[in-house]
Structure 1
Amino acid sequence: MTAEMTTPDVTGREAEDLANAGLSVDGAELREVLEHYYEKGWTDGLPVVPVTESYLQEFLARTPRDPDDVLFEVPHLNRALTVRLAAINAGLAGCLPAYFPVVVAAWDAIAQEPHPRRGIWQSTTGTAPLTVVNGPIREEIGLNSAGNVFGSGFRANATIGRAIRLALINVFGLVPHQLDQATQGTPAKYTACIAEWEEESPWEPLHVEQGLDASDSAVTAFVVRSVVHIEARHTSDPDQLARDFADTVARTGALIHEYTNALLVLTPEHAQVFASAGWSKDDVRRAVFGHAVRTRAELKAVGKDAISHNARWRLPADHPDAMPDTASGTDDPDHVHALGRPSSVQVMVAGANNAGVSAVVEVFGLAPERTPRERPCSVSRIERR
């Protein structure tokens, strides 16, 4: 790195330090190692951290799990991820060893998800893993739950999410244009890991809702399709705000299957709009469910007024594989719910407390006819040695 490559606000001694940062190592040898990793296809397109056996042992020392324990497997690919392989990819991603228990818990949570084993990570939709972290470990390792929570700038967030992606590439072979068939993909395919800002939430945090103790550190896993920001700086009326979220949840472009699912990531400001009116999380869920409705005519206009016999994907009523959707057999067939039930919506708090900007994270979840699980989400307690 040269002084000319530094940012404009780095001057004087700071610029000199940056310019000299690489002088104690052989830059040519380092580049040779990095190029070797590229040639082997062991990266996501960005440089990775070389992992030696001694460095690997620092990761393995942080978990009580045996290195040969299988964390996740995909039967149709005949491939499995062990603790050791997860540690290698965490090191490659730039994780510190202290982050590794979060990575292990993330894989435990992913293994509970009903979709990934069936090839969802290979989908043309371009799905990606989203990891949400709760509990004391957030502060211990510096996970961001506030401003720019979906963005850059925080090593723990960036590298924990990236550790999952690199393992999908290096262990399961999910390489773009090969086993990864995403049509366009999503930035979440690089990394997607956030923490909940529990201290700014008026409600119990996500992991406590799912039966864990507030003192537990935990990871909840989601299969994310997209993150849509909601600009709502104009109102302090909770019903108006719920309608704003519902409009995004029920947008026709999101209606792939008969029903959709959503994770509402509320900024503290929006959470307080609801809480100040006496709303609980369940009240938010019920309101969004009730308002997330499209008319039959609106669905017909975009060719989504029926569903497939086989896949239950939305398609035109005159399609050869079409059958009436569930709403067609109700007392009000001309109004179609985008969500199967209120529990199709999960709610958490994250983001800066400086503006009315929240997010609807479009996620895959269980259809209403599926037997409910013990918990609505896939959560795993973080264990450390």
Structure 2
Amino acid sequence: MATTSLAAPAVDAGQVRAAQEHYWDNEWTDGLPVVPVTESLLGEFLAAVDRDQEEVLFRIPHLNRDMTVRLAAINAALAGCKPEYFPVVVAAWEAIALEPHPARGIWQSTTGTAPFLVVNGPAREQLDINSRGNIYGSGHRANATIGRAIRLGCINVFGLRPHKLDQATQGNPSKYSAVIGENEEQSPWEPFHVERGFDAADSVVTAFVIRSVLHIEARHTMAPEQLALDFVDSICRTGALIHEYTSALLVLVPEHAQAFADAGWSKEDLRRFVFEHARRSRAELAAVGKDALSRKTRWRLATAHPDSMPDTASGTDAPDDVALLSDPSSVQIVVAGADNAGVSSVVEIFTLNPPRKEPFSAVRVQTR
């Protein structure tokens, strides 16, 4: 790193270290350094939105704790956000509030779930939210700090700390931050937020609850059926089958999206194809002990289990051909990443099954 152009600020390094130790000692961080928050800095964040600072954005009733605008601003500042990012953070918390799972304790799950945000519209360019390469990686302040603002809020407001209220067995890297923009400019289809009923000029945040991101190496073909079957196989891997049905967010690189579009496929065509082919045989499910359901939770387990009951497919004309998606809308599609290689991803998400017919947990970003 070149040092000649770096101007060191006139601060006491000892005081900086002491401030960081103070935050760490109080468990106010995610393990990484944070930005100390003063009232003047907090005021810049609150000035970026036209909201009462005591307004509740999201609550977890069983914890009896609320995320207010002021608390959201404190954690956004701690995370290293710029004040101009704060309207997106507020929209993110409101989108999370619409999502049916977190309020029921999903973020405390042993599965290791985490919030995942997709940003559409002008805010992507205005705030330099990355949508065009290394979308899950480092290097973009907006992506990193907006997602981190949510994680720090989970820790500091809701007490979701590892080994305490957060009971994740292994967790996943998105527990630090998980924010992507949709690469609308290189998508052959309408943007995700327009598909959900928003105007193209709206900046929108959509919230998901995810378990993992699975990369799909598909450089070998541009045949739409072959590409789609690669996605199907990844969605239907038995290790992903927790409940009777599963759900997925397909994050397609522009190269793959264009291949589908060039073949005349719409998003709905791709969803329908995946839905129709997302099946496993009864024997394949039995081999891994997932050929029945729990009476209490409807999680998959073995027929021999004392709590077992038949799954829905058992009562059909083809009981040995088990559908793993409840509806085509169990598969959602966005376009993001670079067009330099055929590598897309399947994001394993939690949705209601059957999915809700109204739009997903999406909120328009509002600024002053």
TM-score for the superposition, normalised by structure 1: 0.94
Letter in 2 for 1:378: S
SS in 1 for 2:256: helix
For the pair 1:226 / 2:212, whether they are aligned, the reply is yes
- What does residue 323 of structure 2 align with? 337
Alignment correspondent of 1:384: 367
Task: Work out whether 1:47 is the aligned partner of 2:30.
Answer: no
Alignment partners' CA distance in 1, 2:52 and 2:314 = 52
Match of 1:278 among 260, 264, 267: 264
1:116 equivalenced with 2:102 (yes/no): yes
Provide the rounded CA distance (Å) in 2 between the counterparts of 1:105 and 1:373: 21
Q: Per-residue CA shift, 1:175-220, capped at 9, x if unaligned?
A: 0000000000000000000000001111111111111000000000
Q: Give distance in 2, aligned partners of 1:134 and 1:317.
A: 44
User: Does 2:225 match 1:239?
Assistant: yes
Q: Distance in 2 between matches of 1:231 and 1:374?
A: 33
Partner residue in 1 for 2:358: 374
The 1-side partners of 2:203 and 2:98 are apart by 17
1:140-179 alignment, distance < 5 Å: 140-179=126-165
Q: Which amino acid aligns with 1:82?
A: T
Matched, 1:350 2:336: yes
Q: What residue in structure 2 maps to residue 79 of structure 1? A: 65
Render the CA deviation track for 1:261-311: whole Å, top value 9, x for unaligned. Answer: 100000000001100000000001011111211110000000000000110
- Residue 4 of structure 1 corresponds to none
Query: What per-residue deviation string (whole Å, max 9, x for no partner) do you get for residues 34-81 of structure 1?
Result: 110000000000000001000001000111111010000001000000
Instruction: Give the residue type in structure 1 aligned to 2:163.
Output: H
1:80 is paired with a residue whose SS is strand
1:201 is matched with 187
> Secondary structure of the equivalent of 2:3?
helix
| Residue identity matched to 1:374 | E
1:15 aligns with 2:9: no
Q: Of 141, 163, 169, which aligns to 1:183?
A: 169
CA distance in 1, matches of 2:273, 2:225: 7
Which of 108, 112, 116 does residue 130 from structure 1 map onto?
116
**CA drift at 1:373:** 3.9
Aligned partner of residue 116 in structure 2, secondary structure: strand
Structure 2: stretches of 5+ with no match in the other structure: none
Cα distance between partner residues in 1 of 2:127 and 2:358:
30
Whole-angstrom CA distance in 2 between matches of 1:171 and 1:373: 32
2-structure distance, mates of 1:64, 1:232: 46
CA distance, structure 2, for counterparts of residue 236 and residue 33 of structure 1: 54
Whole-angstrom distance in 2 between the partners of 1:193 and 1:22 = 31
Structure 1 distance, partners of 2:169, 2:312, is 29
| Residues 247 and 147 (structure 1), Cα distance of their counterparts in 2 relative to 1, 3 Å cut | same
* Structure 1: distance between partners of 2:51 and 2:194: 24
CA distance in 2: counterparts of 1:214 and 1:145, whole angstroms: 16
CA positional deviation for 1:335: 1.1
Alignment pair present for 1:289 and 2:267: no
Give aligned-pair identity as a percent.
68
Structure 1: gaps (5+ residues):
1-9
Q: Distance in 2 between the 1:220 and 1:88 partners? A: 22
Alignment match of 2:295 (pick from 299, 304, 309):
309
Shift, 1:23, TM fit: 4.9
SS at match of 1:363: strand
1:145-198 deviation digits (Å, cap 9, x = unpaired) = 011001000000000000000000000000000000000000000000000000
Question: What is the SS of the residue equivalent to 2:75?
Answer: helix
Shift of 1:337: 1.4
- Report the Cα distance in structure 2 between the residues aligned to 1:75 and 1:16, rounded to whole angstroms: 53
Paired with 2:345 and 2:247, the residues of 1 have a C-alpha distance of 13
CA RMSD of aligned residues (A): 0.9
Residue 17 (structure 1) shift: 3.7
